[in-house]
Structure 1
């Protein structure tokens, strides 16, 4: 640990003058960390304002804490996980304490072992676990300077960790010029210029002689409170200039003046010293041995260091360290292009190709005066290694540079397209668009043009999940037809899913009927049809020919799903399989597939699929009446979205709120979802938002509102299966509103699906719907038929609502005893499930029939838990370990234990084994 006396005098002065408030914030952070809490903080401000000095202050004040550091370096931004490795390298002796998947992911990311490319969020969990493990022994302070220049992979992981801190006795403090998207929401300490009195005091503290008052005034004025400017503007001035005169002529604006000061000082050095500084500036590793080897190749000896050190520009110790990033920038910028190429060439020659091939390749690329296929090929190999470590942003940077150095037009386009793919995976969609333009600037083969179309579609789908994506995917599929039938069929299937998502908001050429018609003419598979082939043919048939035409093929697809498919392919097609089961009203397949989907996404760490998997599974639990289980998945989904930045709309939260019957809360989430999906062109979201409105208002008894929402939901009927749930709500609302025409038309459409599907779920829905439009014995027979069908399924919500509607009908028929039996059953089920609006409706009917609706008067003890405590408690009850719970919720195992202690206190228990008797069971399971 560094003591204050170890710091250079200029830095001690800068950190102590005029920074009492900022130091107080840091003191409180240290106190919280020592007290067992976690804190994250971003210290922001312009260059030279004193951010680094405040980090040094924090390091010195952190007595009793372990301090680890990392710093971003602009020229190292392309090396994946370089900054993260800086921070974690001293801690890797604790690596073996992490769960296996996390340990393996981090070892692969750091190049310590080979393996499949790790998911960056699994790497994030590993880093969180590693830091938490270290903090268990001793409070930990992590300092990250110049965050804006961290490589993308490191920046994302560290921002992830900052947002997931809980109870780890850890402080994570960044210094950055501004808060950007990754760190949005992390507490910020804005460092501004010094007040005039403090600026004068700092200036006086570093001056060695008298100064004219007018010169002091101008320096203070020009520096605008920036400590580094105050120090730099006085360097190089003669005693005569400081002692008298009428001001300092020609001072530049602050941002330029600091760098100009460094440029002047670099320019005043001997040639050999400038060359040494250039070599040091060109390599961000800070390895003095590498710098000296490279310098030796250019004939520069160790004596060249002394003038640069005396000028206060650089330190040569265990690492080469520039006084300020602008000093490094000045040393590099002041050199000619030829001199910079020579420096990079010397560094490449001095870099061991076995130990650090990627850095060598990067230096060779910077040294190349023009296209060079050998260097481009080496960069391509580096991209492959970066991708294997999970550094997709780094892979994109290597490939982009490789493309720029490629002379052959086809090779240039191919590498540019590979760079686009990596950039899309890294989530840098703006950069991907620029690279696509580079790829298209040359003459493309048909296959390459198809790749362009696919990538444009990927960009559209990732940014909006609707809109233009279906038409772009369709264009790619048609280009691929004569080239590769398998790839063409895969693109057609993607186009179908995109069209289903886009629905009523699809752009020109992307309507579901147009896409289905084209997909139906896709080239046949060259092998026996597998589940994806059957999904393509069956989905196209249901949309183009008619619902019944595709049902037999889709049933085979669901029965065969997984056979002959890799895990990666299963995950890619599982969401379509799940919604196909739902659209076929096949609750058995829906249950089986959704359970496997969520298990595969979790086990493989495929977080790009996890939001969809959680949503699919949450709806299974909702219809099964397991609202607490669905709420747990919805909370987990929110954690995933916060961690990953997923743009998936809040479908599970919307459905949960609608069935719970909280009018104010449900309307808020439904309206927010409608606005979100409309903006993105996600028409399926409009349909299900209106379904949620209809279900909510049917529960509340606001049948006119429910009917209006049902009509809006079912207005777009190009995709009949997509309106299966809204039809049921519309029929009930229209029947209650006395508008049999709307109810009859909706019932006809529902009946057509029932004839084709024939499952107990849809047969029950049809019987219940027909009963609403019938009278006398026919109505009673249909209500009993509905209850009989629903009883054979796991769909407790539909079963309870069938009992409710039957009871309401019986009461109107003046059969009060029979009505009380049905209404009491409905009320008990709905109350137990937590469907408050429907339960209250059943209670009103029961009281009107002469019965008594018993309602709980006091909440159960488990209802006193916070949402996160309840989630953790349920997972612990179900047998998950603390690390497993932490992995699902993106928190550390230590934070899980902290919350469990609070859970035990609130529930009045002492161990996990007692959770079973104090928490309600989940019928569906997650």
Structure 2
């Protein structure tokens, strides 16, 4: 099949390939996921891409089962031929590539930075001539490489890079990308292909039998006749024996001389492409390199040791045809032939595969490999090394410790099913009291990150109590996690996991002698729920101040979500901005996928309230992709909030229904509060106050956690007043009033004054509106400020002060329209029209005519950032930045970056 210029029966598929190549040669980037059953022709289609690219450069990589646990092996295979371009990358990306590929020592790089570096590297190569990257057998790629390439695929734009994947099925993290389903050939094309491949005539009955057995699989059509002599085919006496394609390859391997089988087994067991390594291992196993000739004659290997197997299924067949003893012997020979200094991890893996029984020395080396993998930014590989180390550990205590460490690593990287299995393995060992406490903690954390429902708080609380006697510092950290989980459980918490019950237990736990940041957050949060808001406020502020004064560090990651939440509870928008940015940076730097959804959500909401809806939308898209890729269960909070702020009623209603069902099923009570708040906000923006009031009442029905009422309470006040039911809001207003007064920040006092104005009349109302605008004007909360102008303008119009009303309403409209809060802008415009005013004509050459990405790039360029700096922030290539800047200049009618600040609105 590989030798034909045109693939039989693949005209449609080749047309898709031609379109991709044309687009790449014209300067665009394209991604394609080719998927179909084994042997259906995916590799042949990739070969067709390579044949049709013309002047394009081609880079290839293929996943191999035996390399699945070596971190970034697939990415290194793809990028190794072009590493001479690495000097063109910005220093952080250059360092990330060097550390990841073992070219330099350094701290573990940010997983996203590695992805951005690979994107930049491919883009740099494509600047010389278009580049097409072909990745075969994606299903066998190591997890880190798969994640990096999925990242790159989503961020390709105008780099002249084509990225074509081949997989047996479309993986979940690529599900939204263009795909090509390669199906079996129809009977007519199958007969044509079979006839073209046969060396002579064939009996029609035999042809029909082969076509029927092959079921349209091209590889089967080409391989089935190889098992029968030409004379038998012509006479119809020797029908091929039944069996799949891989089984036929296995039989042909079995028929080879013993020395050739050993050589193929070595090649299959170490697919590094290092002919010298295979030759050394072969000599150690008494195999001469010339033994490969028989495999070439059998059509299994193209041309000697340097060549690839004819098809990935041949590699699999060569490995599976060997006995367990033969496989171990092959791995032993490869381990002895591998340089322990230059490639210790590959040697350790071969030694592990060669082990017939527990081997503590090999297990210890695997544990060291896990540490090296973690240092290179490969936590998934670290988990795999630890898992194999546990299996090879003779001492039950060491086995339990390693299995626990592997389970904890899997939780942090999103390998939740594997974590459960490892926990079960660890718990078969005679664990110490400390190890049992750690097992409880890992199980509780697994419950939290996979479900965030009402089963996690009791588990975390039990783990915290058990750890108190063996590891007090970890016990306090676990109490803090239990409080976080109880906040998530909210109104759906079990009695023993209710936030107040957890707070009482945490408050009663022994305090730290010298409280660290996490201890202060724990003490302040526990006091807030146990003794009241005012009691916990100074301790929380002390903890937040201490955290902001410290430089960012990976040790802060586990309490960053509570720190961000605490900044909201004390109405500190500066802390919310700083800490949400730090949380996201730390989560990305560590590559901890269990934290990223929370970090992205926290940052997206800061951007929403600050009026940066475009930035929030970008983070929400990233959040969706990561949640789908990791199988995480965080509700679509980002998308729901974005729909509410934009005033998108249809999307908001659909997301509300989805969120209600999802969080109710999992027992995530805070999700109900959040969803109803978003729905109330949405309908207040639309002026549909009855619906807003109904949703706000549901959102504020759970008063045990006053911190969860910070956002719903203002929606309840506004909708209740507009519905003529101010008394409905009095209880919640009173509760929140005490919190805001005790807090005393501009944000808190601004919201308090705005709500008080709605509940007041005459001069008192006007005084409160002015106070709200004054306070909120000193914050970054642009949406809250715009709403204060809107409410004040509406009040002024009803007071018949039309001139004053027009001023406030026009200000509100300009703010809402500028940030993209469409429904609020329409409400302000209606009020302005009713007051006898008109909106200002909006410039046709300004930022509103830019796309979201163009606006982001324009703002950053206007701030003086270089193209590589902008690319790093937006996770795109510098070439894409340059392309969009040219479009920005054209749309805005300018010729220089220095003109951007003048033409873009503040």
Q: Distance in 2 between matches of 1:444 and 1:75?
A: 32
Query: SS at the partner of 2:690?
Result: helix
After TM superposition, the structure 1 stretch with the greater mean CA deviation from structure 2, 270-279 or 706-715, is 270-279
CA distance in 1 between counterparts of 2:288 and 2:822 reads: 81
1:358 aligned to which of 320, 345, 370: 345
Q: Quote how far apart the aligned CAs of 1:267 are.
A: 2.2
Which residue of structure 1 lines up, in the alignment, with residue 859 of structure 2? 874
**Correspondence for 1:909:** 894
* Matched residue, 2:547: 561
SS in 2 for 1:80: coil
Q: Which residue pairs with 1:4 in the alignment?
A: none
Distance 1:659 1:206 in 2: 63
The alpha-carbon distance between structure 1 residues 417 and 510, as it changes in their structure 2 partners (threshold 3 A), is same
Secondary structure, aligned partner of 2:66: helix
> Where do 5+ consecutive residues of structure 1 fail to align?
1-9, 922-926
Alpha carbons of 1:878 and 1:248: their partners in 2 closer, same or farther (altered >3 Å)?
same
Deviation at 1:221, TM superposition (A): 1.5
Matched, 1:761 2:752: no
Secondary structure in 2 matching 1:322: coil
Corresponding residue for residue 889 of structure 1: 874
Aligned to 1:525, the other structure's residue is in SS state: coil
Residue 865 of structure 1 contacts residue 906 of structure 1 at CA under 8 Å; is this kept in 2? yes
Per the TM alignment, residue 521 of structure 1 is displaced from its structure 2 partner at its CA by: 1.6
Structure 1 residue aligned with 2:314: 327
- Aligned counterparts, 1:67-466, within 5 A: 67-245=58-236, 248=239, 251-252=241-242, 256-317=243-304, 319-466=306-453
- How far the C-alpha of 1:754 sits from its partner, in A, is 3.3
TM-score with structure 1 length normalisation?
A: 0.91
Q: Is the 8 A contact 1:807 1:822 kept in 2?
A: yes
Cα distance in 1 between the residues matched to 2:446 and 2:779: 40
Question: Hey, what does 1:739 align to over in structure 2?
Answer: 725
Change (3 A) 1:169 1:754: closer
- 1:27 to 2:18 alignment: yes
1:816 partner SS = coil
Quote how far apart the aligned CAs of 1:650 are: 4.8
Alignment deviations for residues 310-355 of structure 1 (CA, whole Å, 9 cap, x no partner): 1122245462522222222222222222222222212211222112
Match of 1:489 in 2: 476
User: Which runs of structure 2 are paired with 1:42-81 in the superposition (5 Å)?
Assistant: 42-81=33-72
Alignment of 1:718 with 2:701, yes or no, is no
Question: Which blocks of at least 5 consecutive residues in structure 2 are unaligned?
Answer: none
Q: 1:824 aligns with which of 800, 807, 832?
A: 807
User: Which 4+ residue blocks in structure 1 deviate beyond 6 angstroms?
Assistant: 599-608
**Bigger shift: 657-666 or 748-757?**
657-666
The alpha-carbon distance between structure 1 residues 238 and 517, as it changes in their structure 2 partners (threshold 3 A), is: same
Does residue 684 of the first structure (1) align with residue 684 of the second (2)? no
- Given that 1:587 and 1:761 are in contact with CA atoms closer than 8 Å, whether structure 2 keeps it comes out as yes
Does the C-alpha gap of structure 1 residues 792 and 108 become closer, same or farther in structure 2, counting only changes over 3 Å?
closer
Residues 60-104 of structure 1 show CA distances to partners (whole Å, capped at 9, x for unaligned) of 222211111111111221111112111111100001111111111
Distance 1:908 1:536 in 2: 54
Displacement of 1:135: 0.4
Matches of 2:582 and 2:475, distance apart in 1: 27
* Aligned residue number for residue 6 of structure 1: none
Separation in 1, partners of 2:844, 2:236: 80
Q: Separation in 2 of the partners of 1:28 and 1:734?
A: 58
Moved more, 118-127 or 572-581: 572-581
Find the residue that maps to 1:12 and give its secondary structure.
coil
Match of 2:459? 472
SS at match of 2:711: helix
Matches within 5 A, 1:849-864: 851-856=836-841, 861-864=846-849
Aligned-residue RMSD, C-alpha: 2.8
1:822-879, CA deviations, whole angstroms, 9 ceiling, x for partnerless residues?
553244234333255445545555665x643435367563212222222222222222
Q: Whole-Å Cα distance in 2 between the matches of residues 816 and 398 of structure 1? A: 75
Deviations, residues 707-738 of structure 1 (Å, cap 9, x unaligned): 21111111111111210221222122223323
Which whole-Å CA distance do the structure 2 matches of 1:621 and 1:49 have between them? 48
Preserved CA contact (<8 Å) 1:808 1:823: no
Name the SS for the 2:133 alignment partner: strand
Q: Which aligned pairs between 1:518-667 and structure 2 lie closer than 5 A?
A: 518-527=505-514, 529-563=515-549, 567-594=553-580, 612-613=598-599, 615-623=601-609, 626-627=610-611, 629-639=612-622, 641-642=624-625, 645=629, 648-667=634-653
The answer (yes or no) to whether the contact 1:704–1:733 under 8 Å persists in 2 is: yes
Q: Determine if contact 2:28/2:158 at 8 Å carries over to the other structure.
A: yes
Is the alpha carbon distance of 1:875 and 1:207 closer, same or farther for their aligned partners in structure 2, counting shifts above 3 Å?
Answer: same
1:160: Cα distance to partner? 1.9
**1:659 Cα deviation (Å)?**
4.0
Distance between the aligned counterparts of 1:847 and 1:153, measured in 2? 57
SS in 2 for 1:561: helix
Distance change >3 Å, CA 585–CA 270, structure 1 → 2:
closer
Mark the CA change 1:498 to 1:878 in structure 2 (over 3 Å): closer, same or farther: farther
Contact 2:581–2:603 at 8 Å: present in 1 too? yes
CA contact (8 A) 2:554 2:590 kept: no
Give, in angstroms, the shift of residue 539 of structure 1.
Answer: 0.6
Q: Secondary structure at the match of 2:226?
A: coil
Residue of structure 2 aligned with 1:16, choices 7, 16, 25: 7
Relative to structure 1, the CA distance from residue 858 to residue 105 in structure 2 (aligned partners, 3 Å threshold; closer, same or farther) is closer
Look up the SS of the partner of 2:71 in the other structure: coil
Q: Is the 8 A contact 2:787 2:812 kept in 1?
A: no
1:405 to partner: Cα distance: 0.7
Query: Secondary structure of 1:67's match?
Result: strand
Report the alpha carbon displacement of residue 48 of structure 1 after superposing the two structures with TM.
1.8
Structure 2 vs 1, CA of residues 496 and 16 (structure 1 numbering), >3 Å: closer, same or farther?
A: same
Quote the Cα distance in structure 1 between the aligned partners of 2:15 and 2:781: 58
C-alpha contact 1:15 1:53 (8 A) present in aligned 2: no
- Counterparts of 2:582 and 2:339, CA distance in 1: 47
Q: Distance in 2 between matches of 1:425 and 1:578?
A: 20
Conserved? CA contact 1:50–1:228, under 8 Å: yes
Q: CA deviation at 1:386?
A: 1.5
Could you tell me how far apart the structure 1 residues matched to 2:294 and 2:827 are? 86
Distance 1:616 1:330, change over 3 A: closer
Secondary structure (helix, strand or coil) at the match of 2:497 reads: coil
Assess if the C-alpha contact under 8 Å between 1:386 and 1:394 holds in 2: yes
Residues 187-244 of structure 1, C-alpha deviation per residue, up to 9 Å, x if partnerless? 2222222232332222222323332221121112111222221222111313442122
- Rate the CA distance shift 1:886–1:680 in 2: closer, same or farther, 3 A: farther
Q: Name the CA distance, whole Å, in 1 between partners of 2:841 and 2:4.
A: 66
